[in-house]
A and B are shown apart, each in its own frame.
Chain A
Amino acid sequence: MSIARSAPPINIRGIAKRFGSVPVLSDLDLDVAPGEFLTLLGPSGSGKTTLLMILAGFVRANAGSIGIGGEEVITKPPHKRNIGMVFQNYALFPHMNVFHNIAFPLKQRRTSAAETAERVEKVLDLVQLQGLADRRVDQLSGGQRQRVALARAIVFEPRIVLMDEPLSALDKGLREHMQIELRSLHRRLGMTTVYVTHDQREAITMSDRIAVMNKGRIEQLDRPETLYASPRTRFVAGFIGESNFIPVECRDGSVWYAGKKVHTASPLPSSGRHWLVVRPEKVRLVADAGLAADAGLVANANMLDATVRDIVYQGDSFICYANLADDQQIALRDYCRSDVLARLPIAGQPVRLRVDAQDAILVADET
């Protein structure tokens, strides 16, 4: 099985969809590169599933164009699109066994019995379900059903594979295992994949690129590292990973917080209110002034005075919640190494926090 040779790009232009008078998608553009694993990430109601349904042909858009490998498919019925799809609840046919489920798309394509048997066996190998062809669907575990659904979606070597939160029904351990497996399967087969999830960790683990969706628009489309390191909006920063939001003001070509100049690596806007985004693991505890003696670092770092409010122990790490001078809350996360634990402050203790300039990200205030 190799799909890579023929993997086409997807070019989405100006897709709009309203349900009644409620706009779900508005003028959406998106390009998926050949063989790319692209994830649509967003909260429920952000329009990500609707976009997937429009791609598959189950929902008719109000306007727009979908090109698959240069061919316009927006008015094509679903059964002629040749797109594989893995459904959230798998949608395995309960009246057929594993073999007939996987053979279903081949049967529709009038594949000979011999070739069907061969291809089903091959794909069962690929998803590591050898010998389960005769099982009934209700005799399978959640993980096995997931694999059958995947096998059924790729057995006919579709040009594109869509996945609608395929792992959400699995428990945590299995879900993480399947994430790695899906990713390596994608690497081997190289099909253009559009994946929908609301789980940001899953998106970061699996994707080549992530399109963060909010209110029917794509807020940011970037590689996972870029999304995490430099979110462009407050929504993206809040949705991907944990974040502290500190209100700051921009004037005279500088950023100001509580009367102090803020060091940031972000490009400086001219003026107005902004948010400073700081990831909890980028905040460091500075126990006493002596330890911050590294003058080179201190020069380009922000020092903040705070009072510890609470410390939450989480086994591998801890979160320290602290209040800045103006009661602005800030969270700090660190691993429970013995040297860190030895110097752990207690609630009510004044501490000094350090945030390096490259870890202080400036985003616009949208409200």
Chain B
Amino acid sequence: MSVRPAEFVSRGVNADALKADARRESLGLLGLCSPGLALVGIIIVLPIGWLFWLSLFDETGQLSGANYARFVEQASYIRTFLTTFEVAFIVTGLCVLIGYPLAYMLSQLPRRAASICLIFVVLPFWTSVLVRTYAWLVILQRKGLVNNWLIDLGLISQPLPLAHNFAGVIIGMTHILLPFLVLPLYASMKAIDADYLRAAMNLGAPPTATFWQVFFPLSLPGLAAGVVIVFILCLGFFVTPALMGGGKVIMWAMRMEQTTSLYSNWGAGSALGVVLLAVTLGLLGLFRRLLGTRAASVWGSQ
């Protein structure tokens, strides 16, 4: 077989027409995407850019870094920062402790029972966060359901401080964010082939070893996804801490609301928003790096 001259390889029959056709097709597809791209630009890129722009000016309208300097200078800002992360860690931890067994139970139930139970997990999604938070207030307040019952039963003499404080914020947020952990975790548990567990038992692993050495590591990608979602939602949570905290627990989003509506300091509020966005994106990136695109290999090295 002889080697073909180069021009025959690169310029075959209809080569130019086919190239033009390919270009036309990609232009057409870009045209179809343009309404979506325009929408994203108008409602996401533009406002965030504007936010960033605003954060660069102080109250007198001068270009300055004062809004960002506050984060390290003012004690109240640092306290808000720490409170936000404290709440996020505790709520995420509680969601894992409650959500993992719940998702495990759901994944092991027969299909019919599991779908009924799943409805009860998803049901709160259809109720507004505001309504659910007020419901918790009714249940947890000084003369609420829980305290009344406990006093009537004679277990306590003084009402427990469950609402209008840190505990109230934690309880309310854990309840509202729990489904965000349970759903991805349940999905990943459902995807674990029963043959892996059978193989483990067949190879001599008792039930507990089968769970910890096979089931748990295989469920970790789902758990990680749930943890990331819950943690990041915690960082920006507003309604529940505002209502359940009784003004004592100031989280990031509440600080933002105060600076803009109470003090009308748009620059400072914008800086808060920009920092929250940066921290959130940074965390997402960190999680991505830690978990990798191939989660299996990460767990496999142990």
Contacts and interface: CB of A to CB of B under 8 A. Distances in A.
A and B associate: yes
Interface of A: 56-58, 77-85, 87-89, 91-97, 100, 104-105, 108-109, 136, 138, 152-153, 156
Nearest to B198: A58
24 contacts: A56-B198, A56-B202, A57-B201, A78-B201, A78-B202, A79-B201, A80-B204, A83-B202, A87-B198, A87-B199, A88-B195, A91-B196, A93-B200, A93-B218, A94-B296, A95-B218, A95-B299, A105-B204, A108-B204, A108-B206, A108-B209, A109-B204, A136-B296, A136-B300
B123 interface: no
B214 interface: yes
B21 to A, nearest CB: 37
Given A56-B198, A87-B199, A89-B195, A95 B205 contact: no
Contacts, number: 77
Given A79-B204, A104-B205, A93 B297 contact: no
A153 B296 CA distance: 22
Contacts of B246: none
B193 interface: yes
B3 interface: no
Contact of A156 (B201, B204, B299): B204
Given A58-B198, A91-B198, A97 B204 contact: no
B18 interface: no
B17 interface: no
A145 to B, nearest CB: 13
B299 A79 contact: no
B247 interface: no
Q: Is the interface of B mostly helix, strand, loop or mixed?
A: helix
Nearest to B196: A91
Contacts of B207: 79
User: Which are the 4 A-B pairs with shortest beta-carbon distances?
Assistant: A108-B204, A105-B203, A91-B199, A91-B195
Contact of A93 (B199, B206, B209): B199
B188 to A, nearest CB: 12
Most buried by B among A94, A104, A138: A94
Contact of B199 (A77, A85, A97, A156): A85
Nearest to B297: A136
A95 B193 contact: no
A144 to B, nearest CB: 16
B41 interface: no
B217 to A, nearest CB: 5
A237 B222 CA distance: 51
Contacts of B199: 85, 87, 91-93
B203 A104 contact: yes
Contacts of A100: 300
Q: How large is the interface on B (under 10, 10 to 19, 20 to 34, 35 or more residues)?
A: 20 to 34
Contacts of A85: 198-199, 202
A87 B195 CA distance: 8
Nearest to A97: B300
Most buried by B among A85, A100, A108, A153: A108
Contacts of B201: 57-58, 77-79
A135 B161 CA distance: 56
Contacts of B198: 56, 58, 78, 85, 87, 91
A94 B195 contact: no
Given A79-B203, A93-B199, A156-B204, 18 more contacts: A56-B202, A58-B202, A78-B198, A78-B202, A79-B201, A79-B205, A79-B206, A79-B210, A84-B203, A85-B199, A87-B199, A89-B195, A100-B300, A104-B203, A105-B203, A108-B203, A109-B204, A152-B203
A95 B212 CA distance: 12
A153 B204 CA distance: 11
Nearest to A164: B195
B240 to A, nearest CB: 36
Nearest to A88: B195
A96 B300 CA distance: 4
Interface string B172-215: 00000000000000000000010110111111111101100110
Interface string B206-247: 110110011001100000000000000000000000000000
Contacts of A77: 201, 206
A81 B205 CA distance: 11
Contacts of B300: 94-97, 100, 136
A56 B209 CA distance: 18
A69 B285 CA distance: 58
B295 to A, nearest CB: 9
A77 B218 CA distance: 23
Contacts of B217: 95
A283 B193 CA distance: 49
Nearest to A96: B300
A104 B200 CA distance: 8
Contacts of A96: 300
Contacts of A104: 200, 203, 205, 213
A95 B209 CA distance: 15
A108 B214 CA distance: 12
A93 B209 CA distance: 14
Contacts of A58: 198, 201-202
B198 to A, nearest CB: 5
Contacts of B204: 79-80, 82, 105, 108-109, 156
B205 A84 contact: no
A48 B297 CA distance: 36
Contacts of A136: 296-297, 300
Nearest to A162: B202
A89 B194 CA distance: 11
